[in-house]
């Protein structure tokens, strides 16, 4: 995105135009300059504020159309401009964009709170809520409930200094989350390790070495350059024989945001947690966890506690046995000191290879990115009738990205943007988001613009990008989110796409990961990048045979992250306690803690990503999808009627109905809590047999 100063007026600011000539009104990225954003945001906030005040002050009695529908429409253009700003800041940022985002995040928060603390406006919503209305259909009732809740949760009941404190806290939180994210990205980019002796890279797969050599060459260096981009980091931790190298990389990755200097997140994380607790207290909630769970499937801390107790009781014995097994293997292999965190992945992989006679790197030549993508597209075509067609006329925000038009039964569903590889301007991880939500404007079904961003292994000079099996699973996961958004068929943007309960939103994405261990799916696309030979059946058998390897260990690891999240949002640490110390007090980790390292200072999910007091959602949703997949598989993976039933009853409904109702509508019953344990081999009967 250009940053040179330009002169712009509302007439030529593309962010203010509603008559874009681009395909499907997609963003004209080539015309966007960073200088367009501030005037556009100022103008659009002013317009939206005026519209909100008009809605609040109108003399007509409140109705759904003149109040709720009008409110939904009042911020449509502002929301799209904001989505552009924040999404670009995550996937194609620079210093100017980071500063702009940190400036406008609190201003946008202030605008939202001014809407949801407007007394006149709330009175209208209150009247609708009190008399609702036999004349409102289910989706309208759902939207009414959501708005009423937003007013209450935004401090409409507060007065005087308490309301001002609530607003000031919210603005500070908005700015701090952006700063937290920036610090993690900057710390990730700040670390490089230049290697000139190839012997130091012993054990590292050829592709990882090639990528490191390419990285060094790009920077004018000989040898190899290691970075904290996840494909590089993960390859070193899993395969490098050089233990000091593994330790150096592990410490660098796990100390991001946790050292003195301008990128320090220790104070920021604690401040965020305290501000959230203050917000909950001001609203009369015991803790921030209580506040968050009011709009979740898990509605109370007690229900969540029971959930954790049940899963930990099942997984912890298995995790301890697995750790003992890896420790014994490492000792037999010559490790003379206690197993450390930078050792576990390395010895676990070697033990897996010995036990299953299988190296997951054997799979990589069969997972060429283009073929994986086409396999996923084919799966969705066969299940839901979706067609993904390259759209070269749709503008992109970066040369690494690509765009696709998505159709279903001759109907345009939306645009999908894919952005697959790491770069310095992109934060780590993988995610799905929207540049535009789906909704109905009264005349037209406005279709969404969905973005999937990943950080997969890069192509090399010798071949296209070859993915690890874990990256294939990640691609499937994020495409599950994307299709959830693309299939949305509701009327109001606040209920569309993935605007569902946070502990339900991961269900469609985690559900799709199951296909990665299904031979019928793998055989449709997995072939060797050199000669086109299909993925051998013995390797498919190994994938299936090893899928529950260390299931207890990884189960406990995920639950442990959730416990850290809940600890920060139940009783935040005192100012004189470091995040690392606080983490040690609340973790379930089974390996020794490491001085100077912790997860919390780079835990963007909870401090910058919307999962605060909700990281448990991954496991909660996994219980749901394990039950669903068990049912779907019993019906037959090629059963079109079952697939279309799921598409129409769940995926297309967005948040227009409570998640529990969507589940019951498809399954005909409540979730079976043992389905996940059965899949992972962690029921008491399975562990006894093992």
* Positions marked catalytic: 478
Can you tell me which residue has the tokens 């203050």?
278
Close Cβ partners of 567 (under 8 Å, ≥ 6 residues apart): 582, 585, 586
Phi/psi at 419 (5° precision): -145, 105
Both structure tokens of 591: 């390996």
CB-facing half-sphere around the CA of 331: CA atoms within 13 A = 9
To which H or E segment does residue 195 belong?
strand 192-195
CA 46 to chain centre: 31
CB 422 within 8 A of CB 413: no
Using CA atoms, how far apart are residues 429 and 635, in angstroms rounded to an integer? 34
| CA gap 107, 114 in Å, rounded | 10
Report H helices in 75-118: 76-91, 95-116
Q: Could you please report the per-residue DSSP string of 462-500? A: SSS-B--HHHHHHHHHHHHHHHHHHT---S-GGGSTT-S
Residue 61: phi and psi, rounded to 5, are: -60, 145
Contact partners, residue 28, CB within 8 Å, separation at least 6: 14, 20, 22, 395
What whole-number distance in Å separates Cα of residue 291 and Cα of residue 191?
38
Rounded Cα gap, residues 477 and 621, in angstroms: 13
Distance set, CA 536 to CA 56, 268, 379, 523 (Å) = 66, 50, 20, 9
**Considering just the CA atoms, what is the radius of gyration of the chain in Å?**
25
């Amino acid at each position: 995105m250009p940053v040179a100063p330009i002169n712009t007026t509302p007439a030529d600011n593309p962010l203010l135009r509603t008559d874009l000539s681009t395909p499907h009104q997609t963003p004209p990225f080539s015309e966007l300059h960073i200088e367009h954003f501030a005037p556009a945001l100022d103008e659009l906030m002013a317009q939206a504020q005026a519209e909100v005040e008009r809605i609040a002050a109108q003399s007509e009695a409140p109705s759904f159309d003149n109040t709720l529908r009008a409110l939904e429409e009042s911020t449509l253009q502002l929301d799209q401009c904001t989505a552009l700003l924040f999404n670009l800041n995550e996937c194609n940022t620079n210093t100017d964009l980071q500063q702009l985002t940190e400036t406008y995040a609190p201003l946008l928060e202030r605008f939202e709170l001014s809407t949801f603390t407007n007394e006149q406006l709330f009175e209208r919503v209150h009247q609708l809520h009190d008399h609702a209305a036999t004349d409102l259909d289910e989706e309208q009732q759902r939207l009414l409930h959501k708005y009423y809740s937003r007013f209450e949760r935004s401090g409409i009941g507060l007065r005087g200094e308490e309301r001002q404190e609530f607003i000031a806290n919210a603005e500070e939180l908005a700015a701090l989350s952006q700063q937290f994210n920036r610090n993690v990205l900057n710390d990730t980019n700040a670390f490089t390790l230049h290697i000139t002796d190839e012997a130091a890279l012993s054990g590292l797969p050829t592709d990882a070495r090639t990528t490191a050599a390419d990285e060094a060459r790009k920077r004018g260096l000989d040898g190899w350059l290691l970075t904290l981009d996840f494909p590089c980091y993960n390859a070193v931790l899993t395969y490098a024989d050089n233990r000091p190298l593994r330790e150096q990389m592990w410490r660098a990755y796990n100390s991001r945001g946790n050292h003195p200097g301008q990128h320090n997140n220790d104070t920021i994380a604690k401040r965020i947690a305290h501000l959230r607790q203050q917000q909950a207290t001001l609203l009369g909630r015991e803790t921030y966890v209580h506040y968050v769970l009011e709009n979740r499937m898990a509605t109370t801390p007690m229900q969540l506690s029971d959930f954790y107790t049940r899963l930990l009781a099942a997984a912890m014995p298995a995790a301890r046995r697995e750790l003992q097994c890896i420790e014994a293997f490492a000792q037999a292999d010559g490790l003379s000191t206690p197993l450390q965190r930078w050792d576990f992945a390395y010895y676990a992989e070697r033990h897996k290879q010995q036990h299953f006679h299988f190296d997951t790197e054997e799979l990589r030549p069969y997972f060429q990115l283009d073929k994986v993508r086409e396999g996923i597209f084919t799966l969705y075509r066969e299940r839901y009738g979706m067609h993904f067609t390259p759209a070269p006329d749709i503008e992109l925000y970066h040369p690494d990205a690509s765009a696709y038009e998505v159709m279903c039964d001759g109907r345009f569903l939306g645009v999908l943007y894919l952005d697959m590889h790491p770069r310095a301007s992109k934060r780590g991880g993988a995610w799905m988001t929207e540049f535009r939500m789906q909704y109905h404007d009264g005349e037209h079904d406005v279709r969404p613009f969905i973005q999937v961003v990943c950080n997969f292994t890069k192509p090399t000079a010798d071949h296209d990008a070859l993915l690890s099996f874990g990256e294939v699973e990640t691609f499937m996961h994020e495409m599950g989110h994307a299709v959830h958004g693309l299939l949305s068929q509701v009327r109001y943007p606040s209920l569309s796409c993935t605007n569902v309960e946070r502990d339900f939103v991961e269900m469609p994405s985690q559900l799709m990961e199951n296909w990665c261990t299904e031979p019928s799916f793998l055989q449709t696309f997995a072939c060797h990048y050199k000669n086109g030979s299909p993925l051998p059946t013995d390797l498919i058998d190994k994938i299936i045979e090893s899928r529950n390897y260390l299931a207890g260990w990884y189960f406990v690891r995920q639950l442990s992250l959730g416990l850290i999240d809940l600890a920060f949002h139940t009783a935040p640490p005192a100012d004189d306690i470091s995040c690392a110390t606080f983490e040690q007090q609340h973790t379930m980790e089974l390996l020794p803690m490491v001085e100077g390292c912790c997860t919390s200072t780079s835990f963007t999910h909870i401090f910058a990503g919307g999962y605060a007091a909700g990281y448990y959602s991954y496991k909660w949703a996994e219980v749901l999808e394990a039950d669903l997949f068990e049912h779907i598989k019993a019906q037959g993976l090629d059963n079109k009627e079952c697939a279309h039933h799921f598409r129409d009853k769940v995926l297309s409904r967005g948040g227009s109905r409570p998640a529990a109702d969507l589940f019951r509508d498809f399954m005909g019953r409540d979730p079976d809590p043992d389905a996940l344990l059965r899949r992972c081999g962690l029921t008491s009967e399975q562990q006894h047999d093992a």
